[in-house]
Amino acid sequence: MQNTYDLIIIGGGPTGINCGIAAAEAGLSHLILEKGVLVNSLYHFPVNMTFFSTSKLLEIGNTPFISHSDKPTRREALEYYRRLVEKYQLNMRYYEKVLSMERNEELLYHVQTSKGDYYANSVVVATGFYDTPRLLNVPGEDLPKVKHYFDDPHPYVGQKVLVIGARNSACDVALETYYKGAQVTMAIRGEAIHDKVKYWILPNIENRIKEGSIKAYFNTEVLEIRPNEVVLKGPEGEFTIENDFVLAMTGYQPNYPFLQKLGIEIEPEGDCLPVHNAETLETNLPNVYLAGVVCAGARINKLFIENTRDHAELIAQRVKEKLVEV
């Protein structure tokens, strides 16, 4: 059968690339399907972003990650992963969205995409979580001025910006837009900035709030977003602030509808984990595996690139063993 592989990998991020490298080294034919660009999630990170992790911790495929400083930039990361794909000659298809997956009578998985049909003995789902923001689910969230991703501070110069959230991303965005000339307000559900905010960010944001440079409303939630204002609710009731842009840094989650569409079950309570064996990474579907941060479900701060690098080799060896058994 044409377009048949030992392993199909859904997702062309760092974990998907790592799985492709492990497959190649194990002698497995593979295909990586990516709905966007190479490392699509990283590409949509802020233009001037610097990683919290060191380049050493981000290395995959036993290939050194050389950066100008201890913590690499987004630009350096994009170049690193591009070179990995070239070095290992990974079989990757870009701008090809997976539409469905079914197991046929020959026990092969038929993966249908926006551009074609492919078949595989085994499948790895390495889709991460960054593509699916946690929504506020309030009226007006669909307005063009509402952003769940931050790219560059320049569009917000001289604008009234509301930043929603109290973790690293929200604090970083509030500071960066403030320093570029935005009038920044923060809406925070809790009573303080989150205590796990990075040590080099926390005192800065707390001092800007204390001096009044950034206005912060604590114990406050968003009720409605309007074209020129936002309705908030705090300890003293509802109030309205003038607003040009809303940057909702409320976090992200796995694409649960997509996982369920593939046939992967989701635990209904707790961390909403996609069902899988923690030791083998195999899901409720035979020969279908999870790899990377998607394994953590809603606990997105539990797994990272650096502590899931072993997933790729584990899965590749498992797939190879099963092929030998057949």
Which of helix, strand or coil describes residue 207? helix
Q: Say if residues 180 and 155 touch (Cβ distance below 8 Å).
A: no
Task: Taking the CA atoms of 76, 82, 86 and 88 in sequence, report the sign of the dihedral they define.
Answer: positive
> Structure pTM?
0.88
Altogether, the residues listed in the chain come to a count of 326
DSSP letter for each residue of 219-272: S-EEEEEETTEEEEEETTEEEEEE-SEEEE---B---HHHHHHHT--B-SSTT-
146-248 classified as CATH 3.40.50.720: no
- Written as tens digits, the pLDDT of the chain (326 aa) is 789 999 999 999 999 999 999 999 999 999 999 999 999 988 888 888 888 788 998 999 889 998 988 889 999 999 999 999 999 999 999 999 999 999 998 889 999 999 999 999 999 999 998 888 999 999 999 999 999 999 899 999 999 999 999 999 999 999 999 999 999 999 999 999 998 898 889 999 999 999 999 999 999 999 999 999 999 999 999 999 999 999 999 988 899 999 999 999 999 877 889 999 999 999 999 999 999 999 988 787 787 788 899 999 999 999 999 887 75
Q: Which two tokens stand for residue 166?
A: 């109290």
Fold of 4-132+252-325: FAD/NAD(P)-binding domain (3.50.50)
For residue 149, list its beta bridge partners: none
What single letter denotes the amino acid at residue 16? G
Domain boundaries, the chain: 4-132+252-325, 146-248
> What contacts 110, CB < 8 A, 6 or more positions away?
101, 102, 103, 104, 117, 118, 119
